[in-house]
Chain A
Amino acid sequence: MDIQTQLLYPIDQILLALMIFVIMFGMGGSLTVDDFKAVARRPRGVLIGFLSQFGVMPLIALGLAVVLNLPPAFAIALILIGCLPGGTTSNMFAYFARGSVALSISMTTASTLLALLMMPILLELYTTGFTRQITEAMVAAGADSSAEFVIPTLNIISSLVLVLVPVAGGMVLRRYSPGWAKTAEDTAGFVAIIVILYLLGTAFIRHSNLFLETPWQVYFSAISVGLLGFLFGYWVSRLFGVQPLFQRAISLETGIQNGPVSFAIILLSFPEPSIQNQMLWLAILYSTFIVMTSSFITLYLRKRGKFDWEVHRNTVVHNRLFGEEYVTDYPQGFLPPRIAHDPSQGTSPSQKR
């Protein structure tokens, strides 16, 4: 399919840019320098998270693109989404899923920085086949034979740097006024939902046939890239034997990507209207569905992790009040074998909030 009409009017683009700014600013508002230091102190969890985010997730996206035989622009967008750093909302979801918020924050922090290096490499690696398809299509359409579609690596890096500026701004605000930073953080999530719904709504009004014309493969990939991310994130971390608290955080972190960053990259790096529109459309769909899927996954993980979590909190409180060396000795059979040998579930980071 080809989206001929303009998907985003200038006003929408401004709105989107504003949203990206507000969200990244809010993300900065939730971070402190200590969070970066914490990454160094907790390398194992973050490393497994890294593997899951930059190793598994892009492969899931590539696999989906190949298996579903997506049109090249959608495929590139999907892989782009697969390579994104973790989103800030993952911290909130991790909190409600009874996962380790500290780890979630560490992973978001680490992946946002590492994205500068990893995204260009991964995109170069995984999108070659699809860029060739586009080039061939362009040539077939009678374009200049020297025309070639390439991933604008430099542009991507510069857009990433650009979105990191408000993050730094948010961190500065947090340093000087935690109250306002908290407000910024809360507002960011709200703004994101409003803008995404607005974009969906206007798309619905202006291009109502767009929803019908979009092939099912695109919907399917937009929904399942996140779901598969949750699934693999959970199992990868489980295979490495990390504690349930971390499994839940890594699972969510893997599936929830930083959508706004993808908007920024698409707008700034892929100016060709037809390609930009298709890519944006997939990014909008992903951002919409991920809110729903992660809500469901969070509810599921929350329920599943209830017992582990209560045991874990009890241990944390006992150690806080009765001394670090206090060992809570539950009656035989109370703890399931899975956590019986280590009720504290290892070196549990204390909750951030």
Chain B
Amino acid sequence: MESRIIASNLADLYRQAAEKYESLPAFATRHKALDWNPVSFREIYEQGMDLAAGLIEIGVKAREHVGLFSDNRLEWMLADYAIQLSGSVNTPRGADVTDEELIYIINHAKIRVAFVENDALQKKILRLRPELPDLREIILLSSKSEALEGVRPLKEIAAIGTWQRKNGDKRVNDRMNAIRPDDLFTLIYTSGTTGKPKGVMLTHSNMMSQMEVIPIELTCTDRVLSILPIWHIFERVFEVYTICCGTCTYYTSIRTLGEDLKYVEPTFMGSAPRLWESLHQRILENVRSAHPVRRALFHIAYFLGHYYQESIFYLTNNDLQLKPESMIKRGVLRAAHALRLLVLLPWYGFFNAAVLESVRQSAGGSIKATVSGGGALPLEIDKFFNYIGIPVLEGYGLTETSPVIAVRTEDKLVNGTVGPPVADTEVRIVDLETEEVLYPNEKYPYDGRGMRGEIWVRGPQVMKGYYREPEITRKVLLEGGWFRTGDLGMMTFNDSLKILGRSKSTIVLSNGENLEPEPLEMQLRQSRYIEQCMVVGQDQKFVGALIVPKLDVFQEENIQAESLAELSENPKAKRIIRDEIKQMLSAGNGIKNFEQVRDFRLLSNNFKVGEELTNLFKLKRHVVEQKYEKNIRDMFHPKEVKV
């Protein structure tokens, strides 16, 4: 029943959606748990047209960059409709934008008209106004607070537009018709994990190519819960995709997520790994506190689910294939797996129905599948959800590739990978030093599958370049249209892409050993005692870790500590963490000897989004290194020599 819209540009897509889906709900905003407000495809389009006419009237030109500083809300989407319909370019950033970023973005992108979300932001932008010579108009999205002097409320612009359209103003339609596939639809400034923000130029054809290749089926009867920041490309593309399919997006928040999962019964969700980690923890806590009988039933069910799904994966050729296997070996193992499957099937059937279903209910009962992106999903958690019957479709991409490069589909669900590259997209694995193409290369056995290197991509989703940064653009956007992602990866033997870490975050120890910190950190974060951590050791003799312990877990275990600072001095806590690290990073978990974390420091503060973490909870390594320089130095060069 799926029928997505094929459009030539984003404005055209919005128009077609209004015509096709008319009064179906497009977005829903929450007032109370059981009181939501729907906005139909037609309504948001007409409001967007009014606002677009208003923008044109106050002087927004075609292809001009319009700022949009706000978090997820309906008005964000409305502003985006208006920007696209007026043929201009959306330059978004979240409400937590810092002064420096705001100044940099507005001046660098030459923004003349900017939307701001709320009272705090309008005050901030007015305060910085002297440093923003080009800025002419500020428009306030929220209707909850009064617009200050020099700021116009959204309603005013919309009213101007309504009046204009009533009097026969057709400029919006002319603008829409004049949009070329090569025009930008957005200019996204990425803070990235290093350096100053870069403006990624994405075109309408970038976006439209994504609409065609996303291998996920959505229809008018699906419900999508939105929780990731909309100004990030992953959520952005996903929301446009829901418009494309006539699916309604429900805006939720961390605070209300539990409730919303229950009442909205989402059938699909885009989410970051962090969400899965916390959901995983929550399920395990529930199991721990359940009746002993039910706990035992869960363990039996999970055991059965584990072996049942593994056999299914093997038989459908969806097991993680990092090494080549001979046909004979595979044939024998296939028979063994088929036999195991047959034996397990009735038992699995029963336990799936009686136990696992209620576990799935706690994660929102109707979820068919979810997409995870914006960071690597720990393998354990990935497997956990697949074993209990919630397929997680992990994807991979960057802002520069708008964003999807590869994504797992339900037919090709290889745990531990990000799935096969999407249609029309070529992927290369390139040697880091020699830049020799390792995959695909006939010279090597299996065309170079299984070889590690940097991932290069070519396809319709690759950005036009960084705005006003030809130097940096040339470094990543190579001749022939290849884009170097800066990520390490390999192609598995069943043609799924496996990500092995950022090439830049690789730690080189003083003995020359290379290691990727991410997998270790992921492993450590599995511990119920560890909230956050970062592995360090560049140019050192051994690997160390900075760890933010989970205060409440320690308190539950009767360790007296009022704060993280106090806890970080507690010898008992240190001992627990030490044991925990040993257990988490045992050789049995595939950790090599030199990768063992030999020492650690407990930090007295949490990592905060916007400081140590990006908005998608990725570590900004250089920030952490700077901030905790003392701890790191102390760890590697202690004042007192340990006996």
Give 25 CB contacts A-B under 8 Å. Answer: A92-B353, A96-B353, A179-B291, A183-B293, A186-B355, A187-B297, A190-B297, A190-B350, A193-B350, A310-B219, A314-B221, A314-B223, A317-B223, A318-B25, A321-B263, A322-B38, A326-B38, A328-B24, A328-B25, A331-B20, A331-B21, A331-B22, A331-B24, A334-B220, A353-B361
CA–CA, A328 and B41, complex, Å:
12
With contacts A331-B21, A331-B24 taken as known, whether A320 is within 8 angstroms of B263 at the C-beta atoms is yes
**A329:B355 contact, CB within 8 angstroms:** no
CA–CA, A310 and B368, complex, Å:
11
Interface centre among A187, A320, A321 (most CB of B within 10 A): A321
Q: Is A307 interfacial (CB 8 A cutoff)?
A: yes
Interface centre among A96, A314, A328 (most CB of B within 10 A): A314
Partner of A313, one of B37, B297, B354, B366: B366
Chain B residues contacting A183 (CB-CB under 8 Å) are 291, 293-294
Chain B residues contacting A353 (CB-CB under 8 Å) are 358, 361
Q: Is A59 interfacial (CB 8 A cutoff)?
A: no
Closest 6 CB pairs of A and B: A321-B36, A310-B221, A314-B221, A329-B23, A183-B293, A186-B354
Q: Is B43 interfacial (CB 8 A cutoff)?
A: no
Chain A residues contacting B354 (CB-CB under 8 Å) are 92, 186, 189-190
Interface string of A164-205 (1 = CB under 8 A from B): 000000000000000110110011011001000000000000
If A186-B354, A329-B24 are given as contacts, then 14 extra A-B residue pairs at C-beta distance below 8 Å, sorted by A number, are: A96-B353, A96-B357, A187-B293, A190-B354, A307-B1, A313-B265, A314-B221, A317-B263, A317-B264, A318-B38, A320-B34, A322-B36, A322-B37, A331-B20
Chain B residues contacting A179 (CB-CB under 8 Å) are 291
Q: Is A330 interfacial (CB 8 A cutoff)?
A: yes
Q: Is B512 interfacial (CB 8 A cutoff)?
A: no
Q: Is A6 interfacial (CB 8 A cutoff)?
A: no
CA–CA, A307 and B36, complex, Å:
25
| Minimum distance in angstroms from A176 CB to a CB of chain B | 15
**A321:B24 contact, CB within 8 angstroms:** no
Q: Is B435 interfacial (CB 8 A cutoff)?
A: no
Chain A residues contacting B350 (CB-CB under 8 Å) are 189-190, 193
Q: Is B246 interfacial (CB 8 A cutoff)?
A: yes
Closest to A311 in B: B221
Main secondary structure of the interface of A (DSSP, over half): helix
Interface string of A218-235 (1 = CB under 8 A from B): 000000000000000000
CA–CA, A115 and B354, complex, Å:
27
Main secondary structure of the interface of B (DSSP, over half): mixed
Q: Is A295 interfacial (CB 8 A cutoff)?
A: yes
Closest to B20 in A: A331
Chain B residues contacting A317 (CB-CB under 8 Å) are 223, 263-265
With contacts A313-B366, A314-B223, A317-B223 taken as known, whether A295 is within 8 angstroms of B24 at the C-beta atoms is no
CA–CA, A326 and B222, complex, Å:
17
Interface residues of B (CB under 8 A from A): 1, 20-25, 28, 34-38, 219-223, 246, 263-265, 267, 291, 293-294, 297, 346, 349-350, 353-355, 357-358, 361, 366
**B366:A321 contact, CB within 8 angstroms:** no
Closest to B19 in A: A331
A residues 308-338 near B (Cβ < 8 Å) are: 310-311, 313-314, 317-318, 320-322, 326, 328-331, 334
Chain A residues contacting B264 (CB-CB under 8 Å) are 317, 321
**A322:B220 contact, CB within 8 angstroms:** no
Chain A interfacial residues counted at CB < 8 A:
31
Closest to A197 in B: B346
Closest to A299 in B: B349
With contacts A183-B294, A320-B34 taken as known, whether A331 is within 8 angstroms of B221 at the C-beta atoms is no
CA–CA, A226 and B291, complex, Å:
35
A residues 51-96 near B (Cβ < 8 Å) are: 92, 95-96
| Minimum distance in angstroms from B361 CB to a CB of chain A | 7
**A180:B291 contact, CB within 8 angstroms:** yes
CA–CA, A353 and B221, complex, Å:
21
CA–CA, A190 and B34, complex, Å:
37
Closest to A184 in B: B293
Partner of A334, one of B1, B25, B34, B294: B1
**A330:B24 contact, CB within 8 angstroms:** yes
CA–CA, A180 and B291, complex, Å:
8
Closest to B294 in A: A183
| Minimum distance in angstroms from B250 CB to a CB of chain A | 8
| Minimum distance in angstroms from B593 CB to a CB of chain A | 45
CA–CA, A126 and B21, complex, Å:
57
**A310:B353 contact, CB within 8 angstroms:** no
CA–CA, A70 and B455, complex, Å:
71
| Minimum distance in angstroms from A85 CB to a CB of chain B | 21
Chain B residues contacting A307 (CB-CB under 8 Å) are 1, 221
| Minimum distance in angstroms from A104 CB to a CB of chain B | 14
Chain A residues contacting B28 (CB-CB under 8 Å) are 321-322
Chain A residues contacting B34 (CB-CB under 8 Å) are 320-321
CA–CA, A353 and B353, complex, Å:
13
Chain A residues contacting B24 (CB-CB under 8 Å) are 328-331
Closest to B293 in A: A183
With contacts A92-B353, A307-B1 taken as known, whether A331 is within 8 angstroms of B291 at the C-beta atoms is no
**A186:B220 contact, CB within 8 angstroms:** no
Partner of B297, one of A92, A186, A295, A329: A186
Closest to A322 in B: B38
| Minimum distance in angstroms from A27 CB to a CB of chain B | 14
Closest to B297 in A: A186
Chain B residues contacting A314 (CB-CB under 8 Å) are 220-223
Interface string of A277-297 (1 = CB under 8 A from B): 000000000000001000100
CA–CA, A193 and B349, complex, Å:
12
Chain A residues contacting B219 (CB-CB under 8 Å) are 310
**B22:A329 contact, CB within 8 angstroms:** yes
CA–CA, A190 and B219, complex, Å:
37
With contacts A183-B293, A313-B366, A322-B36 taken as known, whether A295 is within 8 angstroms of B349 at the C-beta atoms is yes
Chain A residues contacting B291 (CB-CB under 8 Å) are 179-180, 183
Chain A residues contacting B294 (CB-CB under 8 Å) are 182-183, 186
CA–CA, A340 and B358, complex, Å:
32
Closest to A317 in B: B265
CA–CA, A16 and B28, complex, Å:
54
A residues 329-353 near B (Cβ < 8 Å) are: 329-331, 334, 353
| Minimum distance in angstroms from A196 CB to a CB of chain B | 11
CA–CA, A189 and B347, complex, Å:
11
Interface centre among B28, B220, B246, B293 (most CB of A within 10 A): B220
A residues 12-71 near B (Cβ < 8 Å) are: none
CA–CA, A179 and B286, complex, Å:
13
Closest to B247 in A: A314
CA–CA, A96 and B220, complex, Å:
23
Chain B residues contacting A334 (CB-CB under 8 Å) are 1, 220
CA–CA, A155 and B366, complex, Å:
47
Chain A residues contacting B21 (CB-CB under 8 Å) are 331
Chain B residues contacting A187 (CB-CB under 8 Å) are 293, 297
CA–CA, A212 and B366, complex, Å:
46
| Minimum distance in angstroms from B192 CB to a CB of chain A | 38
| Minimum distance in angstroms from B46 CB to a CB of chain A | 16
Chain B residues contacting A291 (CB-CB under 8 Å) are 346
**A331:B246 contact, CB within 8 angstroms:** yes
Partner of A321, one of B20, B22, B35, B220: B35
| Minimum distance in angstroms from B234 CB to a CB of chain A | 25
**A330:B220 contact, CB within 8 angstroms:** yes
